[in-house]
Amino acid sequence: MREQISAIIRDCHEKMANAQAEADMKHTGVYGQIWRKCLDEFVAVLGRLPSAEIIPRRGYKLVSFNGVVLFPWRFARERSTDIGSRPFAVSDTRISLFRQERDLAQQRLDIEYEHPELTEEERELLNAEAKALEETLTSHRVVVVPYASNSSALHSIDWGEATLGADGYLTFVSMESLLDVGSDSLVDVEPAEEEGFSNGPIPRPQLGVKEEEADGGAHG
């Protein structure tokens, strides 16, 4: 999967860079639509894999594997921009990636009933179990694929399991660079039962900080 993700983003970058050149425009809005191109190609290519599940999400579709959602994110135009400096939760759609819609059965669990037969200790235990159940039902595992690019260069491709903080920024549980993954360097990704989404040692990239210019990179 590492090779396929890298190939998808490389191919999208090449096509959108060519489209920008053909448009012969000073404004880089043509290339800026790469965020949508990558989303569509993730579904078209990865969605054909046996364990893939296509998830509709407010205007577009995403691909998921065993409950783990994949989301490509163009977070910057320049090589020097630090992933941690870019807010992720800029739309309700992005926030919803980390929240699971509760069905009617779960809504019934929210109804408060009186239980006069329970002791105070039993009520506290019941409340603790209900809170733990709600947290389980309202959380998704999300693997974000952040990449930095512009019409002249593809600077970085990474992937890692992430959590969304209350401040709207991501915290990566792990991260791995996919920029150098190619057809001549295949990586064995056999799933491990008790390990994370990506198997093997996880290097962390060192990135700098620079403000992103507006050209459509914050969409999605």
pLDDT in tens, 27-79: 889 999 999 999 999 999 999 998 999 988 777 899 999 889 999 999 999 99
Q: How far apart are the two ends of the chain, measured CA to CA in Å?
A: 22
Q: How many domains does the chain have?
A: 2
Same domain flag for 65 and 118? no
Tens digit of pLDDT for each residue in 148-199?
Answer: 999 999 999 999 999 999 999 999 988 999 998 764 433 333 333 444 444 4
Does 29 lie in the same domain as 53? yes
Residues 38 and 123 reside in one and the same domain: no
In the predicted model, what is the mean pLDDT of residues 107-122?
Answer: 53
Residues 25 and 132 in one domain: no
- Under DSSP, the state recorded for 125 is H
Question: Is 24 part of a structural domain of the chain?
Answer: yes
Q: Do 57 and 149 belong together in one domain?
A: yes
Residues 38 and 54 reside in one and the same domain: yes
Whether residue 195 lies inside any domain: the answer is no
* Residue 27, pLDDT score: 86
Mark whether 54 and 154 lie in a shared domain. Answer: yes
Boundaries of domain holding 128: 104-137
Grade residue 219 by pLDDT with cuts at 50, 70 and 90: low
